Amino acid sequence: MNISSRTTERLVHVPLGDRAYDILIGPGLIGRAGGEITARLKGRRAAIVTDENVAPHYLEALMDSLQTDGIEAVSLTLPAGEKTKSLEHLATVTDMVLAARIERSDAVIALGGGVIGDLAGFAAGIVRRGVRFVQIPTTLLSQVDSSVGGKTGINTRHGKNLLGVFHQPDLVLADTSTLDTLSEREFRAGYAEVAKYGLIDKPEFFDWLEKNWRQVFAGGPERIEAIAVSCQAKADMVVEDERETGRRALLNLGHTFGHALEAATQYDSARLVHGEGVSIGMVLAHQFSARLNLASPDEAERVEAHLRAVGLPTRINDIAGELPPTERLIEAIAQDKKVKSGKLTFILTHGVGEAFIADDVPSSEVSSFLESKRSA
């Protein structure tokens, strides 16, 4: 792979037939949103969904740009945070979209992180059986992961993301300038997902990140490059397996352990945010693979050293406060994954860039491994 350091904007095309779309990555895209949208969509109305942290920074600029290009837009600002991915807020959003007389050729626009993208995308997927959808992701996590691929949804009391539809966006505008107002902690959490693409099947990208992560954090051209490589990696996976019946599951590397840790902290973002759980989860996946003699322990050490260097948590014991007993973690893992006669599906690895899907992992092995890590 040739990773150059161009300052210019990047375009990743997602070739999904009649659902194909572009992802634009670069600074200042919100100021050009109107033009980019009118170039691609017929409708001239839009309903913007955003949250209270994002609106004060970017909503006005977006409204101005839409107006300049003749798009009539209304907006809805919701509370920030995971709790907003609820049925109640879905009702508020769909109601506002209908009140704005959004037709099928008009757009719902998500301006915010993955929470807003998942909620607004779900609304766009079900209003009038599907209206156009534009993602303007404003967190690193949403720029490299959730805004691409068409998974939308909300949480219920039975668990995360249990109601939702596949609804691909028609355009993704990843305005990298918005990351300047994101907290260091949220940026780092998103970085775990960037590193994930290297760990899955791009060892040369992981090498590059080890050398260039400081520039990625500092916001130079390397940041745009890292986001573009990540979007391309996700797009490739989505094009190969749009509805996750096979290979797309590799994107869950680190997520089985990570989700169990998120559940164990009751999704308390003060203790653990998603990307931090994924960071610990990816290290655990490498260590577990080493324990099963699938990979050298040096690989796990290398992964941990990098994630630690950027300031991410890498160990279960890095999580503040008490955690439930290991059996409860295993229950959470079993709930997250299909269990077939005591066997679990896991993303394991032969080393950096060599992840694979294993569907026959005995849950007893997972228990004894986790037990050993908690006392370590």
Is 317 an annotated catalytic residue?
Answer: no
Specify the DSSP element, H or E, that contains 171.
Answer: strand 171-175
When asked if residue 349 is in the footprint of ligand NAD (CB under 6 A), the reply is no
C-alpha–C-alpha distance, residues 129 and 256, integer Å? 32
When asked if residue 277 is in the footprint of ligand NAD (CB under 6 A), the reply is no
74: burial class by Cβ within 10 Å (0-12, 13-18, 19+)? middle
Is 82 an annotated catalytic residue?
Answer: no
When asked if residue 274 is in the footprint of ligand NAD (CB under 6 A), the reply is yes
C-alpha–C-alpha distance, residues 243 and 117, integer Å? 18
Instruction: Give the position of tokens 């990816």.
Output: 282
Helices 326-336 & 255-264, crossing angle to 10 degrees? 120
Q: Which stretch binds ligand NAD (CB under 6 A): 66-74, 134-142, 287-295, 329-337?
A: 134-142
Residue 313 Cβ, how far from ligand NAD at the closest point, in Å? 15
Joined together, the tokens standing for residue 353 give 């860039």
When asked if residue 336 is in the footprint of ligand NAD (CB under 6 A), the reply is no
Could you say which of 9, 103, 210, 244 is catalytic? 244
Specify the DSSP element, H or E, that contains 110.
Answer: strand 107-112
C-alpha–C-alpha distance, residues 12 and 53, integer Å? 28
Largest CA distance in the chain: 61
Closest CA to 150 of 78, 84, 252, 248: 248
Please answer whether residues 117 and 147 qualify as being in contact, where contact means their C-beta atoms are separated by less than 8 angstroms. Answer: yes
Residue 82 Cβ, how far from ligand NAD at the closest point, in Å? 5
Residue 273 Cβ, how far from ligand NAD at the closest point, in Å? 7
Q: Which stretch binds ligand NAD (CB under 6 A): 8-16, 47-55, 202-210, 221-229?
A: 47-55
When asked if residue 54 is in the footprint of ligand NAD (CB under 6 A), the reply is yes
Q: Of 161, 215, 296, 367, which lies in the binding site for ligand NAD, with binding defined by CB under 6 A?
A: 161
Annotate 211-273 with DSSP letters as a single string: HHHHHHHHTSHHHHHHHHHHHHHHHHHHHH-TT-SSGGGGGGTTHHHHHHHHHHTTT-TTT--
Residue 110 Cβ, how far from ligand NAD at the closest point, in Å? 10
Q: Of 29, 33, 131, 145, which lies in the binding site for ligand NAD, with binding defined by CB under 6 A?
A: 145
98 vs 162, which CB is nearer to ligand NAD? 162
Contact letters for ligand NAD, residues 63-102 (x by CB under 6 A): -----------------xxx--x-----------------
When asked if residue 50 is in the footprint of ligand NAD (CB under 6 A), the reply is no
Q: Which stretch binds ligand NAD (CB under 6 A): 7-15, 52-60, 212-220, 289-297?
A: 52-60
Residue 46 Cβ, how far from ligand NAD at the closest point, in Å? 19
Is 129 an annotated catalytic residue?
Answer: yes
Q: What is the dihedral of CA 270, 186, 238, 284, to 10 degrees?
A: -60
When asked if residue 242 is in the footprint of ligand NAD (CB under 6 A), the reply is no
Q: Footprint of ligand NAD on this chain (CB under 6 A)?
A: 51, 53-54, 57, 80-82, 85, 112-116, 118, 138-139, 141-142, 145-146, 149, 151, 161, 178, 181-182, 186, 274
Task: Tell me the catalytic residues.
Answer: 129, 151, 193, 234, 244, 248, 252, 255, 259, 274
